[in-house]
Amino acid sequence: MRLLPAVPIESRILILRGQRGMLDADLAQLYGVPTKALVRAVKRNAERFPSDFMLQLDSKESVDLRRQTGTSSSWGGRRYSPYAFTEQGVAMLSSVLRSPRAVSVNVEIMRAFVRLRTVLAEHRDLARRLDALEAKYDCQFKVVFDAIRALMTPPEKPARRIGFRPERKR
């Protein structure tokens, strides 16, 4: 029996207002409950979710999120802005949602946050070491350092063309 969906948890962690967090709909899907039920449980326990544990997206953030994910028409979908939970808020959800699935999913989410922190720390450490080496050695190794830096930066994804593309005559 598979408890978690195939989409990795790390891909659902977003940067919102400078903090890493997850949206209520993603969490509800992982926990196997309707989003409405998750939000209702949180509202019943509002004292457990201060502003640094949970935030509600404003209308501009909601519209931007809808554009990025390509969901919901102007009249369908959610009637309110989504909630986002920081790492501490996700941990607090485990005390509100007490099912066995919620506990196991919460453990996996916490591990995903730790993995993400570890990767970011290793990347910073590697960049720091490279800067130290670059400062230590003269310009004869500049080409090597430039090549390593180029490998460290993520490739830019080419923009996908949108719309109808007619077949070309040969």
Domains and CATH numbers, the chain: 9-118 (3.10.260)
Measuring CA to CA, which residue among 95, 85, 104 is closest to residue 32? 104
- pLDDT confidence bin for 123, thresholds 50/70/90: confident
Amino acid at 153: T
Q: Is the pTM of this model over 0.75?
A: no
Residues 10-69 have pLDDT tens digits of 778 888 888 888 899 888 888 888 999 899 999 999 998 988 889 888 888 877 777 766
pLDDT in tens, 89-98: 888 887 788 7
**CA-CA distances (angstroms) from residue 116 to 73, 98, 128?**
33, 25, 18
Helix axes 142-152, 100-136, angle to 10 degrees: 170
Cα gap 125→117, rounded to integer Å: 12
Is the pLDDT at 9 greater than 70? The verdict is: yes
Q: CA-to-CA distance for 67 and 108, rounded, in angstroms?
A: 28
